């Protein structure tokens, strides 16, 4: 068990200051987009950072955290169960890890293929039988690359409707919307504009699937401009990742 951080310690002060800066950026971008009354959900991506930092974030009012490795996420979620956090799985997910992720995650932002949707549906069905857990929010990860997602993963836009139908028809899953990462080496605005178009087509068939998970530390303003409802922010809040290994 990680010791609880002391109130007023220097790391808490650092995180508090970083949170203020990021929240001001979000508010300014939302105002510029005419969305002052519809601020996106801030998901703080905590991968590689210790549980003590997540305790500090919870004390500072953070309610949603994201992880992209199941082994690390499962351990943190168990250790921090009393914090009442909402856990988002935001990384690439192997089907064999679906059962584990279904135990702690409220949302998976990286559903990109039918096999994964099927595995998650089975895992949630099993978990609901024993715990009565709520449906799992599923965001379809969309490739915004020109070469079918070779770099950052995701379903090509043409495959989104079929995958959406599968998720919507699966007991225990809730089709939440779409997710994407802006391609490397290109400006984010054209990519997020493309994602907004994919989202609009999805909502036309599934009116409740209005979520758009997009935007990280370097491009959150562009994401908000094009309708992001969920932001995944890591380094601008937590700083550089601790050395691993």
Question: Which one, of 72, 69, 92, lies nearest residue 80 by Cα?
Answer: 72
State how far the Cα of 53 lies from the Cα of 238, in Å rounded to an integer.
8
At residue 8 the predicted structure's pLDDT band, cuts being 50, 70 and 90, is low
Give the model's pLDDT for residue 133.
73
The torsion defined by the Cα of 230, 201, 136 and 43, in degrees rounded to 10, comes to -10
How do beta strands 211-213 and 64-67 pair? Answer: unpaired
Identify whether the C-beta of residue 50 lies closer than 8 Å to the C-beta of residue 2.
Answer: yes
Give the best-scoring range by mean pLDDT among 147-156, 193-202, 234-243.
Answer: 193-202
At residue 4 the predicted structure's pLDDT band, cuts being 50, 70 and 90, is low
Give the model's pLDDT for residue 127.
77
Q: Where are the alpha helices (DSSP H) in 33-180?
A: 51-59, 70-79, 98-104, 114-131, 160-168
pLDDT > 70: what percent of the chain? Answer: 90
At residue 245 the predicted structure's pLDDT band, cuts being 50, 70 and 90, is very low
Pair of tokens at residue 24: 């001001």
Average model confidence (pLDDT) across the chain: 92
Q: Is the pLDDT of residue 71 over 80?
A: yes
The predicted-structure confidence for 118-171, as pLDDT tens digits, reads as follows 999 999 988 766 666 789 999 999 999 865 444 567 999 999 999 999 999 999
Average pLDDT for 96-103: 95
Domains of the chain are: 10-238 (3.20.20.10)
How do beta strands 41-45 and 230-233 pair? Answer: parallel
At residue 184 the predicted structure's pLDDT band, cuts being 50, 70 and 90, is confident
Average pLDDT for 77-104: 96
pLDDT > 90: what percent of the chain? Answer: 83
Pair of tokens at residue 188: 């984010």
Give the model's pLDDT for residue 212.
98
Give the model's pLDDT for residue 147.
58
């Amino acid at each position: 068990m990680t010791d609880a951080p002391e109130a007023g310690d220097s790391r808490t002060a650092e995180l508090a200051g970083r949170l203020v800066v990021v929240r001001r950026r979000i508010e300014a971008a939302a105002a510029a987009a005419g969305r002052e009354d519809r601020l996106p959900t801030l998901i703080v991506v905590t991968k590689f950072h210790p549980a003590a930092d997540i305790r500090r974030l919870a004390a500072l009012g953070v309610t949603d955290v994201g992880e992209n490795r199941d082994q690390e996420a499962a351990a943190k979620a168990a250790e921090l169960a009393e914090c009442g956090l909402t856990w988002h799985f935001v990384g690439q997910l192997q089907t064999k890890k679906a059962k584990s992720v279904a135990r702690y995650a409220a949302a998976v932002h990286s559903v990109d293929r039918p096999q994964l949707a099927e595995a998650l549906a089975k895992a949630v069905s099993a978990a609901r039988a024993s715990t009565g857990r709520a449906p799992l929010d599923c965001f379809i990860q969309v490739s915004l690359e020109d070469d079918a997602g070779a770099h950052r993963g995701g379903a090509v836009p043409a495959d989104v409707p079929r995958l959406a139908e599968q998720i919507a028809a699966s007991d225990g899953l809730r089709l939440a919307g779409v997710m994407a990462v802006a391609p490397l080496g290109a400006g984010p605005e054209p990519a997020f504009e493309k994602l907004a178009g994919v989202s609009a087509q999805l909502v036309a068939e599934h009116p409740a699937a209005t979520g758009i998970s997009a935007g990280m530390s370097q491009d959150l303003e562009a994401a908000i401009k094009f309708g992001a409802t969920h932001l995944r922010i890591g380094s601008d809040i937590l700083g550089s990742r601790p050395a691993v290994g």
